[in-house]
Structure formats: C-alpha cells, structure tokens
C-alpha cells in the first residue's frame, strides 16, 4: 500500500501526533454533544481551572474538584448534531486567533504566557459562538466546552484549541516544519 502523505517511514511520530489530534478532536465534538446534564456548572469549572492556572489550586485539587465532570465527559453525544455553519464559525475563529495569511502567527501548542493569553481570547470567542447559536448547538455545549478546554484538568502543559480543520492543518504544518525535532524528542 502506497502512502500519499509527505511523511516517510522515519516520520511516523509526526504522523502519529497528527492522527491522535484528529481522533481526539472528533471525540471532543462528540463529548460536547453529550445530552446529559453536566454535574458541575460552567462557572465552577472555569473558576477551578483558573485557580489552578493562577497557582491557587494544585492540579490534584483540580482533579478532585472536577472528578464527577471527568466521568460525565467520557460520555458522547451524536456528532451529527453539529451544523456545518457552526463548525465553520469555529474554524474561522481558530484562523482569526492562530493564523495569518494561512500561516501560524505567534505561539501555538506551547506553554507560555503569550499562548495562554491568546487561548483565553479564543476560548471567549468560541464560547460566544456557542451562545449565539444556542438554538442549533447541543444543549450543554458551553459547560462541556468549559471542561474540554480546562487544559490543566486534562494533564496538558498548555492550552489546546478545538481541533477544527484549520487546527489540524496547522499541526500538520508544524510537524512538517519541525519533523526532525519531533523525531528526536519522541
């Protein structure tokens, strides 16, 4: 079987990272569509995560505080509930905050004050998209989104935006540009 990818046999780690990001992105959309009432409110999740990021709560305390939410977040809803126009708005939001002329601007997927600040504005804009489209998005999207984006609760050292088409492409571009570094790190 011949691959149509730019990746060669030695680039398997880069391809694996992109594949994992894509799979997790689909799972996240399914989890945001979970029809069950979340056990925590959006405000509680956001406050706990902000306390952790700000150093007022440990990661362990955050995990304990959001344990019921972690369990609820494993459940998935119907991905067909996502309307194409909402998905396009989410992708446009990613492009607005992370791309300029199709290229990454600033820091993406890196632990820094700049990337956290950029992510916070992105988070707010995506949340507004969900609020503005409340009649077409799954019922509990905003709350599950708050938990999905609580990157410290998921053990990530930096924030990770939703895996829209442009986000996956941006990761692909990073892996292509820095494939030697990715291979050495892995």
Domain assignment present for residue 141? The answer is yes
Domain assignment present for residue 126? The answer is yes
User: What is the structure's pLDDT at 4?
Assistant: 44
Domain assignment present for residue 2? The answer is no
Return the SS3 of 99.
strand
Domain assignment present for residue 5? The answer is no
Domain assignment present for residue 1? The answer is no
Domain assignment present for residue 169? The answer is yes
d(CA 153, CA 71): 12
Domain that holds residue 141: 12-185
Q: State the distance between the two ends of the chain, measured CA to CA, in whole angstroms.
A: 26
Domain assignment present for residue 20? The answer is yes
Phi, psi of 103 (to 5 degrees): -110, 150
- The segments of the chain whose pLDDT lies below 50 read 1-7, 9-10, 183-186
Q: Enter the tokens of residue 56.
A: 């007022």
Ramachandran bin of 55, using left for φ above 0, alpha for ψ from -120 to 50, beta for the remaining angles:
left
Return the SS3 of 104.
strand
User: What is the structure's pLDDT at 173?
Assistant: 83
Domain assignment present for residue 70? The answer is yes
User: What is the structure's pLDDT at 7?
Assistant: 45
User: What is the structure's pLDDT at 182?
Assistant: 52
Q: Could you give the number of structural domains in the chain?
A: 1
User: What is the structure's pLDDT at 186?
Assistant: 40
């Amino acid at each position: 079987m011949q691959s149509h990818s730019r990746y060669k046999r030695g680039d398997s780690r880069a391809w694996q990272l992109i594949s994992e990001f894509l799979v997790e992105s689909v799972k996240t959309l399914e989890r945001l569509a979970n029809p069950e009432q979340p056990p925590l409110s959006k405000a509680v999740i956001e406050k706990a995560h902000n306390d952790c990021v700000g150093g007022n709560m440990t990661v362990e305390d955050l995990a304990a505080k959001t344990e019921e939410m972690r369990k609820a977040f494993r459940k998935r809803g119907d991905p067909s509930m996502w309307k194409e126009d909402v998905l396009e708005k989410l992708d446009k939001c990613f492009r607005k905050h992370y791309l300029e002329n199709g290229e990454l601007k600033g820091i993406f997927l890196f632990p820094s004050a700049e990337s956290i600040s950029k992510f916070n504005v992105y988070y707010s804009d995506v949340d507004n998209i969900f609020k503005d489209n409340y009649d077409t998005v799954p019922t509990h999207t905003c709350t599950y989104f708050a938990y999905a984006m609580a990157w410290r609760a998921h053990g990530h050292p930096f924030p990770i935006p939703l895996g829209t088409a442009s986000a996956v492409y941006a990761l692909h571009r990073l892996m292509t540009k820095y494939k030697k570094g990715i291979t050495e790190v892995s």
